[in-house]
């Protein structure tokens, strides 16, 4: 007979599942091995096509229900977020067998205090990326036909290309896989706060 690991404390506890979801997201930026360190970001482009790519999660704030990542304001994703005002994030952690999906309004911060604090906290290596020319996604005549600031270059010149994106979660979906029975739950945020329910997996 196969021995099963004990079920997690959140298994049949909706509030504890909500807490676990935010705990994992909150830990994501600090824990490199946590799947929520590098979630997939989904947007919809001008043709209505879904677009998805990896980003580094910089902060998840359980109290505010927000997530922050950084990108180049010249990038396709920045344009798509500016146009639609919406984004979704997804991660699956194989260790805990938990998938988290988050969606909601998203806002680009380019010149305000959020952007300044994010830029100030960024490492030199990260800042260098924002000095790439031509802009991300531009067709090149050869793979190396682009430039990036040299070591010691004035990275303040890259600052205008930097933006912090804050996604305000209004929908959450949590899926825990277990052979004894998967557990899925969803939450929506209304004026009175979060409302959650178990969902068929």
Sign of CA dihedral 193, 103, 25, 166: negative
Distance CA 93, CA 33 (A): 9
- Residue 71 in the binding site for ligand FMN (CB under 6 A): yes
- Distance (Å, whole) CA 23 – CA 28: 9
**Greatest CA span in the chain, whole angstroms?**
64
Tell me which residue of 58, 53, 57 sits closest to 43, measured CA to CA: 53
Count of Cβ atoms closer than 10 Å to residue 71 Cβ: 23
Q: Which stretch binds ligand FMN (CB under 6 A): 63-71, 103-111, 173-181, 193-201?
A: 63-71
Q: Which residue has the tokens 């990260």?
A: 126
Strand intervals (E) in 94-168: 98-109, 162-168
- 14, 16, 44, 55: which one contacts ligand FMN (CB under 6 A)? 55
Pairwise CA distance, residues 55 & 69, whole Å: 7
Cβ proximity to ligand FMN: between 107 and 189 the closer is 107
Interactions with ligand FMN, residue window 101-160 (CB under 6 A): 136-137
Q: Does 185 bind ligand FMN (CB under 6 A)?
A: no
Q: Pick one of 44, 56, 82, 114: the residue that binds ligand FMN (CB under 6 A).
A: 56
Q: Shortest distance, CB of residue 130 to ligand FMN, whole angstroms?
A: 9
Q: 11, 27, 75, 189: which one contacts ligand FMN (CB under 6 A)?
A: 75
Binding range to ligand FMN, per CB under 6 A, among 1-9, 64-72, 114-122, 140-148: 64-72
Binding part of the chain for ligand FMN, among 71-79, 141-149, 177-185, 187-195 by CB under 6 A, reads 71-79
CB of 150 to ligand FMN, least distance (A): 22
DSSP state for residue 180 in the 8-state scheme? T
- Burial group, residue 110, by CB count within 10 angstroms (0-12, 13-18, 19+): middle
Is 98 an interacting residue with respect to ligand FMN (CB under 6 A)?
no
Residues that bind ligand FMN in the complex, under the rule CB under 6 A: 38, 51, 53-56, 69-72, 75-77, 136-137
């Amino acid at each position: 007979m196969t021995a099963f690991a004990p079920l997690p404390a959140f298994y049949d506890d909706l509030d504890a599942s909500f807490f676990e979801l935010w705990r994992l997201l909150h830990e994501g930026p600090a824990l490199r091995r946590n799947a929520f360190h590098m979630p997939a970001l989904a947007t919809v482009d001008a043709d209505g096509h879904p677009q998805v790519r990896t980003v580094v999660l910089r902060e998840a704030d359980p109290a505010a229900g927000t997530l922050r990542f950084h990108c180049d304001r010249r990038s396709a994703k920045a344009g798509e977020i500016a146009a639609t005002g919406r984004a979704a994030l997804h991660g699956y952690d194989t260790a805990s067998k938990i998938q988290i999906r988050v969606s909601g309004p998203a806002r680009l911060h380019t010149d305000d205090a959020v952007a300044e604090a994010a830029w100030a906290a960024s490492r030199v290596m990260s800042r260098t990326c924002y000095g790439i020319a031509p802009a991300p996604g531009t067709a090149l005549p050869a793979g190396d036909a682009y430039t990036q600031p040299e070591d010691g270059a004035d990275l303040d010149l890259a600052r205008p290309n930097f933006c912090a994106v804050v996604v305000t979660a209004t929908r959450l979906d949590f899926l825990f896989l277990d052979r004894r029975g998967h557990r899925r739950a969803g939450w929506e945020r209304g004026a009175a706060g979060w409302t959650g329910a178990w969902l068929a997996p």
